[in-house]
Amino acid sequence: MRTAIVGVLLVMTVLAQASVTKKAYGKMPDGTPVDVYVVKDGDIEAHIITYGATVVSLTTPDRNHKSADIVLGYDSLDGYLSKGNPFFGAIIGRYANRIASAKFPLDGKTFNVPQNDGPNSLHGGTKGFDKVVWEGKALADGVEFKYVSKDGDQGYPGTLTAIVRYTLKNNVLHIDYSATTDKDTVVNLTNHSYFNLSGAADILSHELKLNASRYTPVDATLIPTGELAKVEGTPFDFRKATAVGARINANDEQLKRGKGYDHNWVLDSSGKLAEAAEAYDPASGRVLQVWTDQPGIQFYSGNFLDGTAKGKGKVYGHRSGFCLETQHFPDSPNHPKFPTTELKPGQKYHTVTEFRFSSR
């Protein structure tokens, strides 16, 4: 027994010298093992598990070089498996965001997907990519996750092979998404991390800038109406850095429908890798810049967090974290004028998002 323990310690010591380490994180109810990959570069460290390809921890320094975890999450796998998990840190698919009436047309047929958000389908259905164990593989400066979603999975056509690579270098967490299919399908992948750059009770004092002149207004069930509305003169104008809480309670119908911000912004960058958003916490000095080549970004101000989720020694109350989900527009399969999310055999879905960290 003593020899076995020494052996384990030696292995851990060797791994600790590398930039990427792999450890056991837990087991699924059916016994499937779940691993965590620890990726460290300088003062930044990311912990990512194979369940949902989920970022469970992301440690960055403040202006005084004090490091803290800036993402919401749970203490163990049990939390991530819980029914109330609000997609903390996970990869979302096959289709991120909402699909109206849980159905969409493709190639002259109507495909039905699970209703799990009122009349609509949200984040891929009742068992989306956030609720499966991905195959993990260590890279030189990160980790690659692979998941094969079979034809008919959650009602979506085609066997989709998705690969997500997280790499950490020079204060940038780079997320590379790719996918291929054997039948015509739709795909829209994103990361659903909740950020709080200060660790304070809420994120209302965070200052946010969104490089978007338009956004997609929604109906009462948070489905886009199809309009690309101007942000000018509305509480949705974040072209200049503005505190999240400055206008969140304004007498605005869109804010009432979302119970705050839960909308897609139409990015001005039009398909090239460019800065989409910047969040700044005046208390800590932490800065998060989001760069992407996607056409949209969903800013969600944590409106449905209600104190039932608890993790990392905290109770996650109302607006205790925010999401910046790079994406194609919600419900695009039902809006022919939106940028298409269709993927055909022989084509490759590929998109890049970067979270860039600094302080000031």
Classify each residue of 112-141 as buried b or exposed e, where b means 16 or more C-beta atoms within 10 Å of its C-beta: ebbbbbeebbbbbbeebbbbbbbebebeeb
Residue 314 and residue 307 in contact, taking contact as beta carbons nearer than 8 Å: no
Strand partners, 224: 218
Helix or strand run (H / E) with residue 95: none
| Structure-token pair, residue 316 | 């996650």
pLDDT of res. 216:
98
pLDDT less than 50: residues of the chain: 1-18
Each residue's pLDDT tens digit, 314-357:
999 999 999 999 999 999 999 999 999 999 999 999 999 999 99
Q: What is the pTM of this model?
A: 0.94
Determine whether 192 is an active site residue.
yes
Q: Which residue out of 123, 192, 263, 335 is catalytically annotated?
A: 192
Q: What is the dihedral of CA 264, 267, 272, 274, to 10 degrees?
A: -100
Domains in the chain (CATH in brackets) are: 20-169 (2.70.98.10), 191-359 (2.70.98.10)
CA 260 to CA 23: how far, in whole Å? 39
pLDDT of residue 199: 87
Decide if 171 contacts 190 (C-beta within 8 A).
Answer: no
Distance CA 284, CA 207 (A): 12
Q: What is the pLDDT of residue 200?
A: 87
As a whole number of angstroms, the distance between CA 53 and CA 282 comes to 31
Taking the alpha carbons at both ends of the chain, their separation in whole angstroms is 51
Distance CA 105, CA 112 (A): 9
Q: What is the DSSP letter of 322?
A: B
Phi first, then psi, for residue 129 (nearest 5°) are -65, -20
Bond before 360 cis per omega within 30 degrees: no
- Interatomic CA distance for residues 164 and 88, integer angstroms: 17
Are 276 and 210 in contact by the 8 Å Cβ rule? The answer is yes
**pLDDT at 13 (0 to 100):** 33
Out of 325, 328, 335, 354, the active site residue is 325
As to burial, measured by CB atoms within 10 angstroms (0-12 exposed, 13-18 middle, 19+ buried), residue 170 is exposed
Q: What angle do CA 52, 317, 225 make, to 5 degrees?
A: 70
Alpha-carbon distance values, 173 to 60, 143, 183, 288, 289 (Å): 11, 11, 32, 11, 10
User: In the prediction, which pLDDT does 16 show?
Assistant: 40
Beta strand 242-243 pairing with 207-210: antiparallel
